Amino acid sequence: MKNQEKIGLSIGSATGENVRNIGSFGINSCHAALWLREDLPRHFRRLREELGMRYVRCHGIFNDQLEAVAPDGSFHFEKPLTVLERILDNGQIPFLELSGMPGALARTEESVCHYRFRSAPPRDWRRWEELVEQFLHVLIERFSREELCRWYFEVWNEPDLPFWTGTQEEYFKLYDLSRAAIKRQDSRFRVGGPATSKTAWIADFCRHVSAPSPEDPSPGCRCDFVSTHAYPSDIAFLDGAEGEVRLQSADLLPRLLTRVRQTMKLLPEPVPLFLGEWNSSAGPLAFNHDECANAAFIVKTMAELRSVCTGSLFWNGSDIYEECGFHSAPFHGGYGLLNVNGIPKASFHAFRFLRAVSGEELSAVWSRPAKCLGALAAREQKTVRLLLWNYLDPEKENETFEIRIDGLKSGAVCEQVMPENGSAYESWLRQGAPEFASVAELSQLESASHPRRFRYSADAGISLAPGEIALLTFELPEMIEP
Report the catalytic residues: 158
**Secondary structure of residue 430 in the 3-state scheme:** helix
DSSP states of 154-167 = EE-S-TTTTT--S-
User: What is the DSSP pairing of strand 422-423 with strand 452-455?
Assistant: unpaired
**Secondary structure of residue 365 in the 3-state scheme:** strand
Distance, CA of 55 to CA of 91 (rounded, Å): 9
Distance, CA of 409 to CA of 457 (rounded, Å): 7
40 close to 101: Cβ distance less than 8 angstroms: no
DSSP states of 229-295 = E--SBS-S--SSS-----B--TTHHHHHHHHHHHHGGGSSS---EEEEE--S-SSTT-GGGTSTHHH
**In the beta sheet, which residues pair with residue 314?**
27
Look up residue 109 and give its amino acid.
E
DSSP states of 297-354 = HHHHHHHHHTTT-SEEEES-SBS---BTB---SS-SS---SB-TTS-B-HHHHHHHHH
Burial of 16 (0-12, 13-18, 19+ CB in 10 A): exposed
Distance, CA of 367 to CA of 364 (rounded, Å): 10
